[in-house]
């Protein structure tokens, strides 16, 4: 373990500087405090995360990031930045290093290792092989991204004097040239391992620009200046949270480890909401709390979608308060080094103020003291109804404190409104950025489905025992490998008769040749869901009855797709589906025309309900069953009544929603055949559903999930490969 002494002002921590560093003439400074502000904390490969954090703390550093991967720590001390550790930078994992490893090293789009931008770093993908990226000279400094020898390792080198960087790059290229045989095999084999031992693994300091410069510029202008001026050092007068906030606003905030929406877009959403609150209105928006799974263990945390839509902030325990005048206040967890060692990094109020673009930020511990004051003299208070247990009672408690001050001249909000009614309408139309995120999520999910389909056929051909959980595991691996944070919902992998259970969850049954497998699964990416269902023959070949039912469902989906366009109604796709299925059920003999009558009779009596009992689609967005009314708001008063032919229940009908460009919905017809009198045995236990995600356009709809085959012949061809 060693360090670089560049000059009395520079800070550069280097993890594992072995033979290559010595050849470059780089002088190690050892462990402990160096008077010029450099620290090296042990051999990171043999220290736990907590040891790294404590060692940094003991040397006067304030911990600001402890990467999930457990091989590095970033800390700061006044104007100095300490970066420690062998940051493992496999392309699927670099995004998990968080904002300090991302923004400080200029890797704004680190989850794909593309557009390494900021501080003069090269503006293209930096890990698409093993070629080093050339340095760019700017004044007395040079800047570069350096990655060496093996595909799975990439290391950012920050601002340092040109002479030192030149020596470092020369040494790197010498080592790389010597290790060329190992590179071709990504470090595997005798030669690859031999040269891997002498590669430099480097992490350097990055100067964060002062906030004064950034606040006077727009988002795009700052990006251009970073590239043109090379990110020259402008001093460290601003505090770290302010400088970090400036860097984040100039790019994207990625605290949750993902490439997220620009903070300016969240500010626009808050402004749109504020304009709808009415004079004197105020909105209270909590995020989701942690949920206990069992003793001393929580479920994987997932933020509240309404809160995230307005803030992009993914930490638990936070609240947003927004006034009609557009003033936003965030309450979040305070900085706490001990809890951060155990539970992970917290942004804290000070950094949140700079980073998230809110107008004020406080510790959530202060919310009960501050909320009554914020509610005083407001005409109305808005909050989500019936979504957060205990929220209404808590708001009422705050209002009671305001009422207690009425005698002193305070006014209490006279009206309460359901904030969901406003946000649902906003979220229903996806902007271009949201649509792009959903396309990316859909593409990941489609590739996951392809992998699961191919694995099923491959294992059965090899004579292996295949279980539903094998295919579920393939899905999860594909989701995570491509950068998705988690599944968007509990995946359904249903083999054989299990496909007739709409929300099947057991996930342990055998997958047998000659049977169908239904997979309903999609990933969540940066807070947005995908939702795909495919049904395929486990061994790659449909039987006759299976193919007949499959083609019928596919034909009904095509009819629904044709009915999905701006200006049509939401229910039009369902009506088109039912018409095709009703005719097909009669043609295949699953329904007896002598008993149920014509197609019109089947539809009117809902005789098809025996085999098709759900709707053809739902809204899709941040939630897999996304928010938004299915009734056209302007026609909500137009009510007609009819009696359900199956249940006898009196049903009120209202005109369904008129589709508009930017709405996103699923199209998912199906058939589920359980044994019953009069049902041909050849169709027993066959369950089929085909589901795609569609963005409504002026001329039709864009299917964003067709990266996985849907035609029967295409599926069989895929599974033969």
Q: How many Å from the N-terminal Cα to the C-terminal Cα in the chain?
A: 49
Q: Which of 625, 642, 643, 720 is catalytic?
A: 625
- The bridge status of strand 640-643 relative to strand 650-653 is antiparallel
Specify the long-range contacts of residues 394-402, CB closer than 8 Å, at least 24 apart. Answer: 395/284, 398/368, 398/371, 398/372, 399/372, 399/375, 401/372, 402/372, 402/375, 402/376
Q: Which of 472, 474, 531, 539 is catalytic?
A: 531
Using an 8 Å Cβ cutoff, are 549 and 686 in contact? Answer: yes
Q: Which of 207, 472, 539, 691 is catalytic?
A: 691
Q: Which of 266, 306, 550, 672 is catalytic?
A: 672
Full DSSP string of 305-374: HHHHHHH----TT-EEEEETT--EEEEEPPP-HHHHHHH----HHHHHHHHS--SEEEEGGGHHHHHHHH
Q: What angle do CA 454, 442, 542 make, to 5 degrees?
A: 35
- Asked about 531 being catalytic, the answer comes back as yes
- Asked about 185 being catalytic, the answer comes back as no
- Asked about 195 being catalytic, the answer comes back as no
Distance CA 265, CA 279 (A): 24
- Asked about 222 being catalytic, the answer comes back as no
- Asked about 503 being catalytic, the answer comes back as yes
- Asked about 668 being catalytic, the answer comes back as yes
- Asked about 618 being catalytic, the answer comes back as yes
Q: Which of 315, 340, 434, 668 is catalytic?
A: 668
Q: Which of 68, 82, 71, 15 has the alpha carbon at shortest distance from 47?
A: 71
Q: In this structure, what token pair is assigned to residue 219?
A: 């988002």
SS3 category, 98: helix
Distance CA 339, CA 487 (A): 27
- Asked about 691 being catalytic, the answer comes back as yes
Q: Which of 196, 188, 242, 251 has the alpha carbon at shortest distance from 218?
A: 251
- Asked about 296 being catalytic, the answer comes back as yes
Q: In this structure, what token pair is assigned to residue 569?
A: 């109604």
Instruction: Indicate the length of the chain as a whole number.
Output: 721
Q: Which of 7, 296, 338, 465 is catalytic?
A: 296
Distance CA 30, CA 473 (A): 45
- Asked about 229 being catalytic, the answer comes back as no
Q: Which of 272, 614, 684, 685 is catalytic?
A: 614
SS3 category, 546: helix
Distance CA 134, CA 481 (A): 29
- Asked about 472 being catalytic, the answer comes back as no
CA atoms 111, 117, 123, 129: torsion sign: negative
Please tell me what DSSP assigns to residue 72: E
Q: Which of 222, 565, 574, 618 is catalytic?
A: 618
Q: Which of 35, 46, 407, 503 is catalytic?
A: 503
Q: Which of 39, 388, 689, 692 is catalytic?
A: 689
Helix H or strand E encompassing 673: strand 670-673
Please tell me what DSSP assigns to residue 209: P
Full DSSP string of 408-445: GT-----EEEEHHHHHHHHHHS--HHHHHHHHHHHHHH
Q: In this structure, what token pair is assigned to residue 16?
A: 């594992």
SS3 category, 392: helix
Which residues are known to be catalytic?
Answer: 296, 503, 520, 531, 614, 618, 625, 668, 672, 689, 691
């Amino acid at each position: 373990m060693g360090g670089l002494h560049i000059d009395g002002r520079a800070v550069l921590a280097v993890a594992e500087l072995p033979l290559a560093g010595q050849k470059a003439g780089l002088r190690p400074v050892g462990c402990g405090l160096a008077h010029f502000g450099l620290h090296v904390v042990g051999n990171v490969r043999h220290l736990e995360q907590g040891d790294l954090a404590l060692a940094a703390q003991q040397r006067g550093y304030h911990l600001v990031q402890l990467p999930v991967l457990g091989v590095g720590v970033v800390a700061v001390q006044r104007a100095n930045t300490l970066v420690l550790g062998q940051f493992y930078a496999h392309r699927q994992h670099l995004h998990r290093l968080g904002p300090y490893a991302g923004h400080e090293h200029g890797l704004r789009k680190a989850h794909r290792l593309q557009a390494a931008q900021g501080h003069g770093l090269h503006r293209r993908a930096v890990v698409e092989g093993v070629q080093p990226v050339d340095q760019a000279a700017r004044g007395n400094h040079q800047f570069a991204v350096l990655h060496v020898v093996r595909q799975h390792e990439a290391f950012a080198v920050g601002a340092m004097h040109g002479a030192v960087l030149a020596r470092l790059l020369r040494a790197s290229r010498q080592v790389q040239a010597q290790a060329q045989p190992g590179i071709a095999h990504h470090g595997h084999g005798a030669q690859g391992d031999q040269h891997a031992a002498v590669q430099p693994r480097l992490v350097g300091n990055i100067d964060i620009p002062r906030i004064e410069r950034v606040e006077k510029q727009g988002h795009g202008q700052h990006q251009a200046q970073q590239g043109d001026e090379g990110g020259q050092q402008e001093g460290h007068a601003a505090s770290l949270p302010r400088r970090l906030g400036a860097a984040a606003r100039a790019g994207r905030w990625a605290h949750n480890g993902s490439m997220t929406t620009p903070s300016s877009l969240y500010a626009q959403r808050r402004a749109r909401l504020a304009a709808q609150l009415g004079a004197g209105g105020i909105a209270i928006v909590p995020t989701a709390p942690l949920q206990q799974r069992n003793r001393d263990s929580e479920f994987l945390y997932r933020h509240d979608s309404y809160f995230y839509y307005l803030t992009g902030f993914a930490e638990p325990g936070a609240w947003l308060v927004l006034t009609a005048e557009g003033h936003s206040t965030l309450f979040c967890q305070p900085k706490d080094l001990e809890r951060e060692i155990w539970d992970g990094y917290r942004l804290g109020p000070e950094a949140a103020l700079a980073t998230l673009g809110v107008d004020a930020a406080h510790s959530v511990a202060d919310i009960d003291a501050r909320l009554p004051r914020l509610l005083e003299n407001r005409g109305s208070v808005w909050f989500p109804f019936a979504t957060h247990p205990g929220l209404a009672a808590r708001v009422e408690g705050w209002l009671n404190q305001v009422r207690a001050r009425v005698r002193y001249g305070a006014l209490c909000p006279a009206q309460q409104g359901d904030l969901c009614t406003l946000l649902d309408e906003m979220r229903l139309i996806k902007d271009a950025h949201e649509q792009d995120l959903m396309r990316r999520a859909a593409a990941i999910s489609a590739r996951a489905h392809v992998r699961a389909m191919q694995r099923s056929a491959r294992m059965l051909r090899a004579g292996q025992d295949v279980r539903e959980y094998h295919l579920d595991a393939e899905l999860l691996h594909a989701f995570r490998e491509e950068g998705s944070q988690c599944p968007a919902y509990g995946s359904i992998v249903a083999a054989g008769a299990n496909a007739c259970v709409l929300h099947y969850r057991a996930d342990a049954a055998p997958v047998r040749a000659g049977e169908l497998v239904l997979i309903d699964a999609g990933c969540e990416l940066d807070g947005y869901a995908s939702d795909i269902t495919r049904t395929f023959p486990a061994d790659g070949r449909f039987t006759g009855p299976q193919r007949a039912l499959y083609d019928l469902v596919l034909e009904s989906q095509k009819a629904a797709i044709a009915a999905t366009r701006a200006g049509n109604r939401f229910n039009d796709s369902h009506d088109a589906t039912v018409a095709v299925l009703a005719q097909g059920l009669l043609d295949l003999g699953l329904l007896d025309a002598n008993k149920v009558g014509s197609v019109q009779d089947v539809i009117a009596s809902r005789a098809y309900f025996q085999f098709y009992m759900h709707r053809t689609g739902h809204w899709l967005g941040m939630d897999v069953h996304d928010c938004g009314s299915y009734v056209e708001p302007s026609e909500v008063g137009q009510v007609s009544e009819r009696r359900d032919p199956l249940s006898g229940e009196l049903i009120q009908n209202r005109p369904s929603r008129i589709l508009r460009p930017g709405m996103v919905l699923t199209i998912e017809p199906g058939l589920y055949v359980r044994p019953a009198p009069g049902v041909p045995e050849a169709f027993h236990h066959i369950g089929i559903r085909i589901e795609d995600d569609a963005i409504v356009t002026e001329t039709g709809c864009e299917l964003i999930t067709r990266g996985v085959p849907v035609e029967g012949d295409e599926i069989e061809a895929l599974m033969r490969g």
